[in-house]
């Protein structure tokens, strides 16, 4: 990668905000962090758009001055990071952004191919939370969009893996989907089905019970028939504990009392 003579820049937005140049952390003030994050999330942006996004409470002249100062400080602290094209600002295409790698992987997983190792792709898709602790509306929106895209990717991997008999990958992908959205019925149903097919009825029952308890606690609802049905099938293969038959005792330690036959 051509670094333009500034060294290799890496920007992390998942798990925490971090900027590194040649593996050395670059310390940037919070205001400049927000500008860099906005350009990473939104792409090339007009100055007029950025001031409304980052300083909505300021009059326009003051907001523009704040933007000018932030761009100047970033240019000093991290030369080569921001490209200034007059009315449009952007990050250098040479910056390695972790979110971009996740987005690229999501796109790849959305186009099934024999060349894709979906089991390995799961780890890359999980990643960390987008800018945790940031409560700007534009960050919350991008976080929700990323979670939606991850959920869709996990569901696709789970369904395809289940269809080809790779029950371990199907269960892992469905579980990842449930981690994103615990009350998503289709994800729970896929998880229960995958665990059953993998020969893990206990895991299937645990997944169902977690869903049932949370659904009742948060929404006051019970699982639908489509989710209960696989669980009923699991229970149908368990020993019928309530049906016992008395047989004569043949061991002296039973003291003449009848024994229980669960057969």
Last residue of a domain, one of 94, 118, 153: 94
**Do 155 and 219 lie in a common domain?**
yes
Q: Which of 237, 260, 235 is nearest to 248 (CA)?
A: 260
| 138 belongs to a structural domain | yes
For β-strands 245-247 and 18-21, DSSP reports them as unpaired
Structure tokens at 83: 């490209």
pLDDT at 178: 97
Helix (H/G/I), strand (E/B), else coil: 246: strand
Last residue of a domain, one of 48, 65, 94: 94
Render pLDDT for 70-103 as a digit per residue (tens, 0 to 9).
999 999 999 999 999 999 999 999 999 999 999 9
The total number of structural domains in the chain stands at 2
Last residue of a domain, one of 94, 128, 161: 94
Q: Which domain holds residue 40?
A: 9-94
**Do 205 and 130 lie in a common domain?**
yes
Contact at 8 Å (CB) between 117 and 142? no
**Do 141 and 230 lie in a common domain?**
yes
**Do 89 and 106 lie in a common domain?**
no
| 241 belongs to a structural domain | no
pLDDT at 5: 59
Q: What's the CATH code of the domain at 15?
A: 1.10.10.10
**Do 108 and 208 lie in a common domain?**
yes
| 255 belongs to a structural domain | no
The sign of the torsion formed by the CA atoms of 234, 236, 239, 240 equals: positive
**Do 130 and 78 lie in a common domain?**
no
Residues in the chain where the model's pLDDT stays below 50: 1-2, 241-263
**Do 224 and 106 lie in a common domain?**
yes
pLDDT at 191: 96
**Do 106 and 54 lie in a common domain?**
no
pLDDT at 261: 40
Q: Would you put residue 22 in left (φ > 0), alpha (ψ -120 to 50) or beta?
A: left
Contact at 8 Å (CB) between 173 and 157? yes
| 263 belongs to a structural domain | no
pLDDT at 244: 40
């Amino acid at each position: 990668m051509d670094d333009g003579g500034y060294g290799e820049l890496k920007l992390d937005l998942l798990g925490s905000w971090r900027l590194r140049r040649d593996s050395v952390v670059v310390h940037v003030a919070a205001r400049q962090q927000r500008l860099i994050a906005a350009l990473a999330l939104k792409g090339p942006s007009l100055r007029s758009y950025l001031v409304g996004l980052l300083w909505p409470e300021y009059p326009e002249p003051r907001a523009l001055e704040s933007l000018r100062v932030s761009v100047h400080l970033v240019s000093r602290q991290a030369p080569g990071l921001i490209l200034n094209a007059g009315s449009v600002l952007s990050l250098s295409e040479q910056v390695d952004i972790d979110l971009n790698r996740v987005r690229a992987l999501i796109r790849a997983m959305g186009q099934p191919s024999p060349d894709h190792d979906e089991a390995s792709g799961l780890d890359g898709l999980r990643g960390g939370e987008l800018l945790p602790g940031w409560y700007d509306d534009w960050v919350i929106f991008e976080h929700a969009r990323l979670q939606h895209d991850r959920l869709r990717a996990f569901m696709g991997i789970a369904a395809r893996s289940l269809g080809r008999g790779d029950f371990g990958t199907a269960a892992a992908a469905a579980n990842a989907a449930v981690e994103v959205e615990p009350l998503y019925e289709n994800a729970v149903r896929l998880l229960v089905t995958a665990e059953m097919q993998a020969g893990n009825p206990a895991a299937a029952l645990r997944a169902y019970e977690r869903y049932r308890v949370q659904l009742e606690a948060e929404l006051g609802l019970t699982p639908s028939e489509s989710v209960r049905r696989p669980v009923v099938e699991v229970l149908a293969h368990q020993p019928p504990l309530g049906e016992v038959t008395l047989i004569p005792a043949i061991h002296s330690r039973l003291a003449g009392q009848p024994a229980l036959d669960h057969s």
